[in-house]
Amino acid sequence: MTNQADWAESARQFQQMIGESWTKMLQTMQPSQVQAAGALPTPAPVRLAPDKLATLQQQYLKDAQTLWSQGLQPGAGIASDKRFAGEGWAQNPLSAFSAAVYQLQARTLMGLADAVEGDEKTRARIRFGLEQWLAATAPSNFLAFNADAQKAAIETKGESIAKGIANLLRDMQQGHISMTDESRFEVGHNVATTEGAVVFENELFQLLEYKPLTAKVYERPLLMVPPCINKYYILDLQPDNSLIRYAVAQGHRTFVVSWVNPDVSLSQKTWDDYIEDAVLTAIDTVQKISGADQINALGFCVGGTMLANALAVLAARGKEPVASATFLTTLIDFANTGILDVFIDEPFVRMRELQMGQGGLMKGQDLASTFSFLRPNDLVWNYVVGNYLKGETPPPFDLLYWNSDSTNLPGPYYAWYLRNFYLENNLVKPGQLTVCGESLDMGQVAVPAYIYGSREDHIVPIEAAYASTQVLNGDKRFVMGASGHIAGVINPPVKKKRSHWLREDGEFPADLQDWLDGATELPGSWWDDWSDWLKGHAGAQVVAPKSYGKSPKFKVIEPAPGRYVKQKA
């Protein structure tokens, strides 16, 4: 039976483990050059708050006594957790007991992490490291304890194990865990199928123009700038959940940036290159093709940050080619970067600058793995169990196919982005940044803006999305949607899913909660609200063009979705 002496020793060992792990984590985050440059800080001793430690001790002893008294009763002590929700866990006493012990230890370890005395970033890093370790060591991840996997092996006479090994070998060959049946999807065949054509290209992007679905279109075209860390077709997965097709159906002459998947020939490209030769070039090209004095623009995630930079550059040059801007789950003010903040500090950024700041590639698979491990149970270990222990083939899911279609980034672009936005938050500091030869001041950006944030977004926290209302100076409309970074955005009205929140008085208090206090929850998608807003900035309706581009300079190069989106990392 656990006693107080055992508990005290366990707490001491935990404190020592956290201190050693924290030191090792900092050391492994930097190469020797960074350490030699003096960038590696000396980690402060890790101490635990005595009052919190005493409370945890009492709770642990109480829960442990209850668990031991229940013994190996079927299903005893297992708290609600979908990893242990199958019939096998409740019926197998050993598996049930292992799950219950695991949950007790996990609760206690996370409590100890919260009891660490220090700054919040230190506690966040310790919590993040513990969450990764706990997710990896769950009994559900091991055949010896996973009763559901054992049951499948018995029922299939070992076939599930054979399939699991085959799945493992296939995933090792392709270099990533399969989240969906990737054989069921093909870009241009059953994803990214909205009819259109490539009407311009350079070494960084192709410009796609889409065939009108209405007899008349608005005179101001719409340009979409997706994130360059992913493929553009998140905006065009299937016809019934395609934001691109929806915009076309609403009467907007729609253009989309399709980013190149960089290889070593582009490993020297910088943030300035992507703003000048991509975003600004795309804006100018859409103007020339359409003949419009102004266009409307939309930026999604990093694409929104790039659009904001481009607008600030244009403002510094005294130009106003953009009539309105839509920002979807976009960071402009990087004061709150959510869980990603655990990675960002001076040593980490200096490491990246030394590794690739002067050239190189940030591999797409490394980026994809980082984002997956932000939600390890759902996006990593869930598939380890299903694919390898149970021998299952994950069902076809277009969004997860897109999620696995990774994209590289040029090293100089990536390193500059880390320092100037995530680390130093320079975009909201007037005159602090020079981009494309211009000193940036977001206060000069006065275009009308539609700003969207997702309530459960773990990449762009809702508070960070809302913070753009305090930075942009034009007329603004803010909407909060339910769900996360992707599912909140890709939420077509026909699905009648989720909710969104609006406030019609035009007030934008500094604190999100104050805004929410005056907001109204509305059922369903926010897309129709955005469409109504955008039409107010789209000008008169004119006869839809009969052909793509504008000959002879902007003739059709190839049908959409084009070559660039099909390039693999």
Nearest to 25 by CA among 123, 132, 129, 137: 129
Q: Which residue has the tokens 């604190």?
A: 511
Closest by alpha carbon to 479, among 488, 490, 470, 492? 488
Is 228 considered catalytic here? Answer: no
Q: How many CB atoms lie within 10 A of CB 21?
A: 17
Q: Going along 29-98, which residue ranges are E strands?
A: 47-48
Give the pairing of strands 322-328 and 449-454: parallel
Q: Give the count of alpha carbons within 13 A of 307, CB side only.
A: 35
For every residue of 321-364, DSSP letters joined together read: -EEEEEEES--SS-S--GGGGGG-SHHHHHHHHHHHTTS-EE-H
| Residues 38, 39, 40: CA angle, nearest 5 degrees | 95
CB atoms within 10 A of CB 48: 19
**In this structure, are residues 421 and 297 in contact, taking their beta carbons and an 8 Å threshold?**
no
DSSP codes joined into one string, 264-325: GGGTT--HHHHIIIIIIHHHHHHHHHHT-S-EEEEEETHHHHHHHHHHHHHHHTT---EEEE
Provide, for the chain, the percentages of residues in helix, strand and coil under a 3-state DSSP scheme, each rounded to the nearest 5.
50, 15, 35
Nearest to 342 by CA among 142, 131, 103, 68: 131
Is the preceding omega at residue 552 within 30 degrees of 0, hence cis? yes
SS3 labels along 189-253:
CCECCCCEEEEEECCCEEEEEECCCCCEEECCCEEEECCCCCCHHHHCCCHHHCHHHHHHHCCCC
Q: Are 457 and 465 in contact (CB under 8 A)?
A: yes
The single residue of 113, 126, 282, 301 carrying the catalytic annotation is 301
State whether residue 509 is helix, strand or coil: coil
Work out the number of other CB atoms within 10 angstroms of the CB of residue 319: 13
List, by residue number, the catalytic residues: 301
